Each structure stands twice: as C-alpha cells, then as structure tokens.
Amino acid sequence: MRSDAIKIGTERAGARALLYGTGVTDSELKRPFIGICSSFTDLIPGHFGMRSLERAIEKGVHTGGGHSFIFCVPGICDGIAMGHAGMYYSLPLRDLITDSIECVVQAHALDGVVFLTNCDKITPGMLMAAARLDIPSIFVTAGPMPTGVWRMKKRSFINDTFEAIGRFKLGEIDAAELSNLEHSACPAEGACQGLFTANTMACLTEVLGLSLPGCATALAGQAKKLRIAFESGVAVSALVKDGITPSKILNGNAFHNAIVVDMALGGSTNTALHLPAIANEAGVPLDFNSFDKVSRTTPHITSINPGGKFYMEDLDNAGGIPAVQKQLLPLLKDNLTVSGYKVSEIAESAVVFDDNIIRPLSNPYHSEGGIAVLYGNIAREGSVIKQTAVSTDMLVFTGSAKVFDSEEVAMDAIMNGGIANGDVVVIRYEGPKGGPGMREMLAPTSAIMGLKLNRVALITDGRFSGGSRGPCIGHISPEAADGGEIALIKDGDKISIDVPNRKIELLVSSAELEERKAAWVKPPSKFKKGYLAKYQRSVKSATTGGITNY
C-alpha cells in the first residue's frame, strides 16, 4: 500500500506515534488509508449539509475495510461571489483546490480518496486532482436543491432572483414580491435546481465513470443520497484492492461520452473550460472543437432549466443519468466505471420513466446539442454559446456594439437604460488573464432577460454561468488582455452572429482593424500582489481550458 511509506519500518516510529495521537489503533494501521476530501462549508447552500454525508462515507469506508481521514478544501459559491470582485476568485479556486489536494494526498501517502463535492469550480478542481494523482478515487456529489414554491408555482434560483431584478426594475413586481421570491428560490441545501455548472459537472462526473450510478441527480438531504455516500465509501476500498485508478477510466472513451451527454442535456458552457482541463491532467488529448463536432451529431433530448421547463428533481424522477445514457447508448463508447459495471451495462439496465423529460433520439427537443463553437475575426481561436438556450429568431443576428471594459460598467448601463433592442453588449478584459479569473456574466445576462431586451446579444472574453440564457457568446479567444480583436471593437461597430454557420464577425475592414491594433495599448494589471497576480502570470487561453503553467 502507498501508506506503508508512513506506517512500516523502525524509522517510521515518529509517524506512527503521530497517527496513534489521532486515535488510530494497531488494527486500523493495517488497513488502507482513505482520505475523505470534503468541501464542507457553511457559506454554500450546496455544501452546508455535507456533515451527514461525511459520516455516511466514513461508515462505508470502515465497512469496506479501510480507515478514513477527513480533510477539507475551500469553496466559493458563484452565486454569492457574482457581480463583484469576489468572482475574480472563482475559476482560480479550481487550480488552488487541485494543488492543495495534491499536497495533502502526497504528503500523507493516502491509498485512496473519496471526493465529496457539489458546486461550481470545486468539482472540476477535484476531478483534476484525481486525474493528476492517479490513485483509487470515487466521487460523491452532494446533490441538487429541490425547487421552492411561491403562489403555488415552482421557484428556482436564477429565474426568481437574478431575472426577477429586471422585472422589479420594470415595475412588474414590487419590493415585497421580490422579497418573497428571494425567500422561496433556495428552500434547502443543494446545488441550484437547473443545469447550471454544479449539476452539469455532477452529471458529467457520473458519465466519466467516477461516481456511482444515480449519484448526480439524487437530491441533496435525502436518504437516497446518504445510501449512495455509504456505498461510495465501501466501493473505494475495492478500488484500492483491485488497483483501479482514474487512468484506467479517464480515457478517450470517457471524455467522448461526457461531451455526448453534455450536448444531449444542454449543460453549462463552463464544461468547455473544465473537461479540457481535466483531460489535460489525465494526459488525454481533447480538442476544443470536439464540443462542436459532437454537438452537430448529438440531439438535445432534455429540456432542463434555465433554458427548459424541467428541473433536476424531474430528471432524477425520470431515471437520472443512467436513463439518459440508455437513450444515448448508440452514441456512447463502452468503458469501465468505479461501480464495476461498464457504461453499456448501466445504460441497458436503466429505466426511462418519462420519455418527455428524457426523450429518445428519434424525438429530440433540438436536432443538435447544447453547445456551439463560433469562429470569426473577433474569435480566431474560438468562442462558445449555449445554442439550445437561444430563441430561434436570435440564432442569426446583426447588431450595434455597446462596448464596456468591465462587467460593473456594463451592468450599470443595462440597469439604467443604456441598452436597447438591436444592441450587442461587448464586455471585455474579463478573460482568464484580463479579469483575471474569467468572471461569469450571470448578472448582466439575467438583467437583460428580466428587462425583456429580447433582441440584445452579449459577447465577452469572460464566461457565463450555467444559469445564463439567450444569445450569450463567451470564451472569446484571443482575449482582450492578449491583444485579441475583441479589444479593438468600438461603439457602433456592427457585429454579425450566425450560430447555424458557426460564425461571429466584426463588420470592419481588415485595414481598419490593423490600424486599431497598431494603436492598442495593453492596460495595466488590476492586481499587483496576492493569489490573483500569481494566477494571472500562469493562466493560459480559455480554449485550453484555462489551465495554468507548472
């Protein structure tokens, strides 16, 4: 066992003494040492209920023959960090989590790890760590939040808070109604109710084969989730015994399947950042264009909030990810999973309880998948859009640029009547380096929808929350801070968007763009010290997954 390095031999007397000091017994010293990497925190609704899951995992580890040790990593709630300086830290946290897990696991020579996660950048950070360390690993995602209820109607986080702000601004609802919606939108523990980043990544973790079947959609706080947590604790010891590590699972087939399911679900565009970063750690080539290639041949078979009418609780009731895999089986590649079953076995044994929530390939909601990759003279390296969350009449659109060099300035203009139908809102210097940290633009996109600006597009070198909907194009690369053409756009320039043909063009002559580029001056960094300054020096383009240099 790896842990023999700290347990065996006369020269390890000091290490054993310290382990005895934690309460470890002689019999437990002979067991595999299993880390429970928990992201518990009171700060995040998706994480504050994790103490009960830690206990369930712990029981499972000991039942399976291992000895568990809980250690923790930091967490950020993107919804709370949104719209202010806190969002600079969200994406950088992903890499901080990966590095911190490496430090703890390697320093203590753990034999295996159960990763307890749920929200936003925490799950991909843990997945990157599992791929990098390549020791037996299994994931427990803490589960989606149930919908709230107000006025006998289901309520959810994005629609009834961020978008409600625009409705309040229009005078459609008063302050008392806004307050009631705030109190109803997040009724319990769990990740926000739709296919935002947290739940999208939970689904893809299951598809990748690193969590047990049914884990992704099992609601937070329910006994079903506790049982999955216990069984995951049991399973990790079997993985240690059999030598099943992530490298035996995270191969080309696994990432292909993840992209197929992502496209079929219509998940968050953040997956175009996270899957390449995880693949990079696993040593698996993953082309940015793979998302578009798979999307063109994968029908969109669910209609999940924010772009659709159903919620994660409905997806779970309809059969969860195994049922999605059943419908998609002709498009999937067989592969091993931590459950011991292959992808084909899980899919074939699944039951689709509602074929309107999870439709067959012959009756999709859209003929293509969720994400499209657009190219053009302001996105030479690419950009992404969630095409299934765009109304049909906005898939092809030409508008006039309204240019802003930060999210805050853009938000002020949106909320104070500075944007009109026919505009293309350009938010730049918010990329991986320029932000730094590639802030999410949920507040501006939600305000635009709430204000009923239905003929407005938004483009950015930043990114979007999984909760964003409408013609929102992000990850524009090269970013403005690297001198990308998005830095050269001026107010009033015409911008053409053609999603079916995968094009985004600034309708300005090449000669004019060259003149503007010659006059461009790189702005100074916003941060001179601290973690963000360090991150800015090492982070790469969004098309690489925003990975950092070692």
347 vs 229: CA distance, rounded Å: 21
Place of tokens 């000991």: 62
Place of tokens 């999307």: 295
CB 202 within 8 Å of CB 215: yes
Q: Please report, to the nearest 10 degrees, the dihedral formed by the alpha carbons of residues 435, 438, 442, 447 taken in order.
A: 40
Quote the crossing angle between the two packed helices 271-282 and 197-208, to the nearest 10°. Answer: 30
What is the Cα–Cα distance from 545 to 279, expressed in whole angstroms?
Answer: 9
CA dist 19 and 312 (Å) reads 42
Detail the DSSP E strand segments found in 207-331: none
Strands (DSSP E) along 326-422, which ranges? 371-376, 379-386, 396-404
Contact assessment for residue 168 and residue 175, using Cβ atoms and an 8 Å cutoff: yes
Angle, helices 163-170/175-185, rounded to nearest 10 degrees: 170
Contact 263, 369 (CB under 8 A): yes
Assess contact for 58 and 70: CB atoms under 8 A. Answer: yes
Place of tokens 């772009």: 307
SS3 track for 501-521: CCEEEECCCHHHHHHHHHHCC
- Between helix 90-107 and helix 271-282 the angle, nearest 10°, is 30
Decide: helix, strand or coil at residue 453. Answer: coil
Please say whether the beta carbons of 73 and 97 come within 8 A: yes
- 13: three-class secondary structure by DSSP: helix
Instruction: State whether residue 498 is helix, strand or coil.
Output: strand
Residue type present at position 412:
D
Query: Distances in Å between the alpha carbon of 123 and those of 74, 200, 446, 463, 486?
Result: 12, 10, 24, 18, 31
d(CA 274, CA 340): 25
**115 in helix, strand or coil?**
strand
Angle at CA of residue 422, ends 416 and 425, nearest 5°: 60
Q: Tokens 């109604």 sit at which residue? A: 177
Neighbouring C-beta atoms of residue 152, cutoff 10 Å: 5
What the block records as the tokens of 163 is 């978008």
Catalytic residue among 68, 268, 465, 477: 465
Q: What are phi and psi of 20, to 5 degrees?
A: -60, -35
Q: Tell me if residue 27 is catalytic.
A: no
Measure the N-to-C terminal CA separation of the chain; round to a whole number of Å.
28
Where in the sequence numbering do the catalytic residues fall? 465
